[in-house]
Amino acid sequence: MSWIKRKFRKKVEVKNQYGWFGNFDSWDEVKRIAPGYDADNILKKTKESLLKVKNGEAIYERDSVLFDKKEYPYAIISALLYIAARNNNKLNVIDFGGSLGSTWFQIRDFIPPEIELSWSIVEQEAYVKAGKEHFADAVLDFYYSIDECIAAKKNIHVILLSSVVQYLEKPHEFLDQLNSYEFNYLLFDRTAFINGDAGDRLTLQIVPPEIYEAKYPAWFFNEARFLKHFDSYKLKADFVSFVEGEGRMSIDHKMVAYDKGFFFERNK
């Protein structure tokens, strides 16, 4: 920690605490001190926690942490049920950056058995391999890319992006590419934004060690710029993200950011 203080004294003040810090000029600058989500310890702990959920030994997992009471993302559940109702009780979901199925294990109790469901996670290579080995079943499957998933599933109704876009190196390029797929529905949750008219801000996120030892780059978006990517969609709903305490977020210990979600339907 002292090394971070010396090298980035002008940009980030850590004070032996955890959260989001700084206002960095480039992704590479943060990556020099933040290895990101590809660290082996993150996958290991996430897999162990979700296996307990899958096997009925735990109730609920979020960011690898186990809880004895489940929190339900009702906005996400409502959007998915709306999509299924509009598609003859069929629901094919791409969960982009969906780990090993965290969101699926949260919401599955609310999906009636009459809905014909496919839940496809697109993730990093190590997660896909672990997912196929330990979690894949008749509903849940894993893919290395959106294109691979589309080729396998053909008719995708919605892509879900929960707490993922802000961890991409080039998020706006990704959002432009996402638009090109012309999915009928887009569903964002737990996406981080900066207050006011400020531009996007790149920070260093330091995770509390009781979750896992990790540091990674994390964006906070200008909301107006973010929404400009979706002119070909109608905004059906925006909502405060479901996780308690994530509605308002701090950078450098100041409440200058917030977390929210959006549900888009493509214009006919």
Query: What is residue 4's predicted lDDT score, i.e. its pLDDT?
Result: 39
**Which distant-in-sequence residues (6+ apart) come within 8 Å of 176 by Cβ?**
229
Please tell me the distance from the alpha carbon of residue 46 to that of residue 26, in angstroms, as a whole number: 29
| Residue 267 included in any domain | no
Domain that holds residue 108: 2-262
| Residue 90 included in any domain | yes
Q: What b/e string do you get for 4-17 counting C-beta neighbours within 10 Å, with b at 16 or more?
A: beeebeebbebeee
| Residue 268 included in any domain | no
Full pLDDT tens readout for the chain, 268 residues: 333 333 443 344 444 588 999 999 999 999 888 866 555 777 887 788 777 777 776 666 666 566 666 778 999 999 999 999 999 999 999 999 999 988 998 899 999 999 999 999 999 999 999 999 999 999 999 999 999 999 998 899 999 999 999 999 999 999 999 999 999 999 999 999 999 988 999 999 998 887 777 888 999 999 999 999 999 999 999 998 865 545 689 999 999 999 999 999 999 8
Q: What is the pLDDT of residues 196-224, one digit of tens each?
A: 988 999 999 998 887 777 888 999 999 99
End-to-end Cα, the chain, rounded Å: 53
Query: What is residue 65's predicted lDDT score, i.e. its pLDDT?
Result: 61
Query: What is residue 13's predicted lDDT score, i.e. its pLDDT?
Result: 45
**Which distant-in-sequence residues (6+ apart) come within 8 Å of 24 by Cβ?**
11, 12, 30, 202, 203, 204, 217
Contact by Cβ (8 Å): 12, 201? no
| Residue 52 included in any domain | yes
Phi (first) and psi of residue 222, to 5 degrees? -75, 120
Please tell me the distance from the alpha carbon of residue 64 to that of residue 175, in angstroms, as a whole number: 27
Query: What are the percentages of helix, strand and coil residues in the chain, rounded to 5?
Result: 30, 30, 35
| Residue 166 included in any domain | yes
Query: What is residue 133's predicted lDDT score, i.e. its pLDDT?
Result: 93
Both tokens of residue 197? 């008219």
Query: What is residue 259's predicted lDDT score, i.e. its pLDDT?
Result: 93
Q: Indicate the number of domains in the chain.
A: 1
Pure H helices in the chain: 2-7, 27-31, 40-54, 74-86, 102-107, 125-134, 146-153, 171-180, 223-227
Q: In this structure, how many other beta carbons lie within 10 angstroms of the beta carbon of residue 52?
A: 14
Q: Quick one: CA torsion of 156, 144, 132, 243, rounded to 10 degrees?
A: -70
| Residue 153 included in any domain | yes
- Identify the CATH number of the domain in which residue 193 sits: 3.40.50
